[in-house]
Amino acid sequence: MNMAAKLKAWNFQVLMLVQAMLGAVTPNFRMVVLSREGDIWVIRFYLEKNIEDDICEIEDIICQYTAYQDSDLKCKSEILVGHEALPRLSEADRVVYRRKE
């Protein structure tokens, strides 16, 4: 895949994640990061507290995000809860949302 095609794929995935997140982010969300590990798209949700309503929102976000895709999309999500400092990210990661802290 050439560089332009890679950039187009990244931009499409970021846009689809942003669309899926509209109206779902609460003050408990600290950061949402999109990464790629091989051929798998990884979405990491950083929450301050383990709140069941937010876990349900994340499930809805993932459902909506995958609905925007064609059937061969490989993705997974991770939920990380805590007050620790947010991690430094590699240049390959895209921060899709980050609250002011």
pLDDT digits (tens, 9 = 90+) for 13-71: 999 999 999 999 999 999 999 999 999 999 999 999 999 999 999 999 999 999 999 87
Q: What domains are there in the chain, each with its CATH number?
A: 3-98 (3.30.70)
Instruction: Specify the length of the chain in residues.
Output: 101
pLDDT for 83 = 94
Three-class SS state of 58:
helix
Over residues 72-82, mean pLDDT? 95
Exposure of 76 by Cβ count < 10 A (0-12 exposed, 13-18 middle, 19+ buried)?
Answer: exposed
User: Closest by alpha carbon to 31, among 98, 92, 101?
Assistant: 98
pLDDT, tens digit (0-9, with 9 covering 90-100), for 55-70: 999 999 999 999 999 8
Pairing of strands 40-47, 29-37: antiparallel
pTM over 0.75: yes
pLDDT for 71 = 78
Max Cα-Cα span within the chain: 42
More confident site: 90 or 16: 16
pLDDT for 92 = 85
Band (pLDDT 50/70/90 cuts) for residue 91 is confident
